[in-house]
Structure 1
Amino acid sequence: MIRSINVSSATLRHGIIHSPFRLVTKPSNGLRFCRVRPLSRPSRPSIILARLYSDEKSPKENIKPTELAKKVLQEAAKRENIYTIPNMLTFGRLLASPVIGYLVVTHQTSWALAVFGLSCVTDLLDGYIARKYNMQTVVGSVIDPMADKTLMMTLATCLAVSGDIPLYIATLILGRDFLLFLSALYYRYISLPPPKTFTRYWDFSLPSAEVRPTTISKYNTFLQMIYLGSSLVFPVLSQSITIETAQSIGMALKGLEYVVATTTILSGLSYVFSKDAVKILSKPNGKP
């Protein structure tokens, strides 16, 4: 008599088989033979279920289905989809930053302006799409200001090297953003639930802290873009206008320079004294 038993990977206790199988037994001459026939490939939840079952309980223990389902839901809730259109636009802005820097240093101003303008457009689009189509993510709240600051730091450095902006304003922009970057690394570490491994630390689908830009910081980013963009286009524009007009624009840029220096300092202080700038999503022990 031939017997067949369907066995799911979730019923295993000593290990994980990545496919469910059919165990077929057949008696022959007093002996019992068995063979394994693979079934269809399981879904991802069944694999997670099997992992949780095999990892959390020993072979002698029985796990309750309700407890198992709860663990699966908790595992799924810890992750979020980071492959959204707004996040892709933000990543594109990150990749465009070194390209803009190279174009500025090599005096390819027209191309630098084109890529910089495109980056500014994506900065407006990603926020609009995220809000309108409910694609806001914790990762987006972190990498969006990171992309803005990477662009500002790269452009400020290259413009200072080429002599288009004073060294002190570039130092203010770089110093503030570098300190914010270090604080972001710190908050990521203290808010990440255990185990605190290198892989989990850089896994952006495991959100642990949310960065909320302050009001003065938003104005500062806008003013920095205007100032750095104007400093980028001014050398090209000055070749086709009169000397008096160029001097007037130069004085306006000087005034904007002082405004940007002030807002850069104030926005940095706002992150220090604001209680809502950083929100911890999970406690260090892993509890929400």
Structure 2
Amino acid sequence: MRRARQQERRGYSSLSSGNPKSDGEEVQPKQDSTRDTSTPTQGDSSKAANEGSFHFKELYENPWTIPNYLCMARIALAPVLGYLIVEQYFHASLGLFALAGATDLLDGYIARNWANQKSALGSALDPLADKILISALYISLTYAQLIPAPLTALVISRDVALIAAVFYVRYKTVPPPITLSKFFNPCYATAQLKPTLISKVNTAIQLVLVAASLAAPVFHYTDSLFLQSLWYITALTTAASGYSYYHYGKKTVEVLNNRK
């Protein structure tokens, strides 16, 4: 009896130490419950494939800011102002132009002083609104024979070239696959524009010429030397502004994604 118990204890000890059974059967090795980390799984391989890729959602920003609303209001005023000028309602158009100028000053003030109101979209929308408004005003003022046609052609040509450049930058910075919904989605900012100093000066001079031209029939100085001098100054700064964008090129654009 005692000998039987000792043999039974020896059998248990041989099993616990991993030795083979006494009857010749081999003990199967214990299977590892964890996966071999050296073998990549499907999720790991997809993660490795996407490593370093650009995540479009990281560029999300809120486009519905007060400055952006003011920019859109300025765009909406452009055809109204054009109609009033063509119909020679110069008093009303001068007042409405002053309102549009006030929105331009206000959206810039808000964006500079409240960080949550500043957006990359606004950096493109603000000059775009100015260009749409100026183009409508110059065309209508040329129709009313208050601004010479060659000057209007120069201003429009520069603005069309800049707008085309903006669309090109957007196309190059939107991560693939590029779709229309992604390209025109205002919630996703991919680049921020930095206007040159001469461009800011030119915009101010163009607006001064518009204000002076609108006021000319009201205050009766349509053939003044002052107005004609503004034509040449505007033409000079417009050409210089267009050249500055060509000269500085990439320095006027800040790409917000990290794609290479």
Q: Distance in 1 between matches of 2:126 and 2:84?
A: 23
Q: Distance in 1 between matches of 2:155 and 2:175?
A: 32
Is 1:114 the counterpart of 2:114 in the alignment? no
Q: Percent identity?
A: 36
Cα 1:254–1:75 change in 2 (3 A) is: closer
Amino acid at match of 2:155: I
Name the residue aligned to 1:40: none
Deviation at 1:282, TM superposition (A): 2.3
The structure with the largest helix share of the pair is 2
Deviation at 1:107, TM superposition (A): 1.2
SS of equivalent residue, structure 1 residue 107: coil
Q: Which runs of 5+ in 1 are unaligned?
A: 1-59, 68-73, 239-245
Name the residue aligned to 1:198: 180
Name the residue aligned to 2:132: 150
Cα 1:75–1:257 change in 2 (3 A) is: closer
Q: Distance in 2 between matches of 1:255 and 1:131?
A: 34
Mapping of residues 1-288 of structure 1, within 5 Å:
76-134=57-115, 135-238=117-220, 246=221, 250-275=224-249, 276-282=251-257, 287=259
Amino acid at match of 1:281: L
Amino acid at match of 1:85: I
Q: Distance in 2 between matches of 1:126 and 1:201?
A: 25
SS of equivalent residue, structure 1 residue 205: coil
Name the residue aligned to 1:54: none
SS of equivalent residue, structure 1 residue 274: helix
Deviations 1:154-197, CA, capped at 9 Å, x for gaps: 00000111111111111111110011111111111111111200
Q: CA RMSD in A?
A: 2.5
Instruction: Return the TM-score normalized by structure 2.
Output: 0.76
Give yes or no for contact 2:198–2:240 (8 Å, CA) kept in 1: yes
Question: RCO higher in 1 or 2 (8 Å CA, sep ≥ 6)?
Answer: 2
Aligned residues: 214
Deviation at 1:89, TM superposition (A): 0.6
Q: Which runs of 5+ in 2 are unaligned?
A: 1-40, 49-54
Cα 1:116–1:76 change in 2 (3 A) is: same
